[in-house]
């Protein structure tokens, strides 16, 4: 694969923490087809999985074999090894559009040194925002958000009182840059001086809510978090209603332990966390029952 170097003066390091799954090559290909191409792409992979990327031979891709295993720990190693001032983290299942990096970089340059910027996330299947609200049963939605967040209700870009991160649908905002309380960890552009370099996630398994802890640590350093509407990327969505009962409750238990850890660490504890899990179990049960009836 031939790679064009970025025309910008500020070269970009991209950090991908991965286990070497099938989607990785598509993520890298999309990065290298953009109007700005990163000078280096650091693929951070544990020793036990490193054979999966041994055939990956692309000029701007560097394989960083890590002794640690875990998304946060692997990414921290990549951050420490990054060569350039601008560093972007991205998951191995994200597909950036042609001008995504260009628009993120322009936003980062325009907003000053103490910012981190993320793109808008869209569904690969529909092209719509992954945070688009369903246009149905508005009264039930209002009750749900009241239970989760009290009188404030639905607050896009914020973490509600149940510990749920309420995402931003760019179509609902006029400004191109939207300040938020958290950034989804799937794709974020930073300045190297602002990076969180330590492994801050102590739990085993999938790092649910690590992006919320990461956002909390960034904000505690005085970093403003922004979503850039015109920077776009896509990903495939998976819905819990497609899980069987065992998989559903296994994922729910892992989600609960991670959410409780996040809320305690960030001093956000609230009994509304239990309302969230009650509502989730009820919703799953009703949808499973409806699918069986059909």
Give every CB contact of residue 264 below 8 A, 6+ residues apart in sequence: none
DSSP 8-state code for residue 220:
H
Give every CB contact of residue 267 below 8 A, 6+ residues apart in sequence: none
The C-alpha atoms of residue 92 and residue 106 are separated, in whole angstroms, by 24
Predicted structure pTM score: 0.93
pLDDT at residue 293 in the model: 73
pLDDT > 60? residue 6: no
Looking at per-residue confidence, does 286 or 24 come out higher?
Answer: 24
- Helix, strand, coil distribution of the chain in percent, nearest 5: 40, 20, 40
The C-alpha atoms of residue 121 and residue 209 are separated, in whole angstroms, by 17
Please report which helix (H) or strand (E) contains residue 255, including its range: helix 245-265
pLDDT in tens, 16-68: 999 999 999 999 999 999 999 999 999 999 999 999 998 899 999 999 999 99
With beta carbons less than 8 A apart as the criterion, state whether 123 and 235 touch.
Answer: yes
pLDDT at residue 4 in the model: 45
The C-alpha atoms of residue 22 and residue 276 are separated, in whole angstroms, by 33
Q: Which long-range contacts (CB under 8 A, 24 or more apart) does 148-157 make?
A: 148/272, 148/275, 148/276, 148/279, 149/272, 150/272, 156/131, 157/181, 157/182, 157/227
The C-alpha atoms of residue 272 and residue 284 are separated, in whole angstroms, by 18
Per-residue pLDDT, averaged over 71-81, amounts to: 97
The C-alpha atoms of residue 120 and residue 246 are separated, in whole angstroms, by 33
pLDDT at residue 1 in the model: 47
Per-residue pLDDT, averaged over 214-243, amounts to: 92
Nearest-5° Cα angle at 50, 254 to 234: 60
Residue 219's pLDDT band (cuts 50, 70, 90): very high
| Number of neighbours of residue 242 by Cβ within 10 angstroms | 10
């Amino acid at each position: 694969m031939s790679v064009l170097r970025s025309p910008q003066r500020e070269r970009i390091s991209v950090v991908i923490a991965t286990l070497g799954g099938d989607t990785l090559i598509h993520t890298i290909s999309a990065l290298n087809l953009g109007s700005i191409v990163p000078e280096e792409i650091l693929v951070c992979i544990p020793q036990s999985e490193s054979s999966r990327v041994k055939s990956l031979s692309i000029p701007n891709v560097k394989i960083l074999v890590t002794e640690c295993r875990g998304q946060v720990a692997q990414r921290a190693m990549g951050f420490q090894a990054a060569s350039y001032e601008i560093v972007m983290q991205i998951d191995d299942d994200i597909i950036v559009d042609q001008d995504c990096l260009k628009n993120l970089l322009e936003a980062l340059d325009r907003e000053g040194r103490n910012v981190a910027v993320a793109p808008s996330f869209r569904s690969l299947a529909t092209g719509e925002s992954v945070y688009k609200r369903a246009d149905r049963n508005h009264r039930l939605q209002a009750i749900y958000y009241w239970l989760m967040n009290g009188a404030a209700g639905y607050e896009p870009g914020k973490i509600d009182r149940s510990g749920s991160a309420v995402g931003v649908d760019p179509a609902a905002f006029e400004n191109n840059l939207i300040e938020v309380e958290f950034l989804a960890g799937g794709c974020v552009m930073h300045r190297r001086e602002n990076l969180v370099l330590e492994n801050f996630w102590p739990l085993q398994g999938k790092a649910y809510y690590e992006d919320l802890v990461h956002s909390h640590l960034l904000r505690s350093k005085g970093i403003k978090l922004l979503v850039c509407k015109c920077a776009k990327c896509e990903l495939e969505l998976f819905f819990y209603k497609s899980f069987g009962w065992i998989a559903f409750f296994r994922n729910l238990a892992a989600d609960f332990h991670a959410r409780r850890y996040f809320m305690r660490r960030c001093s956000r504890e609230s009994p509304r966390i239990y309302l969230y899990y009650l509502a989730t179990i009820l919703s799953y049960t009703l949808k499973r029952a409806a699918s069986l009836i059909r």
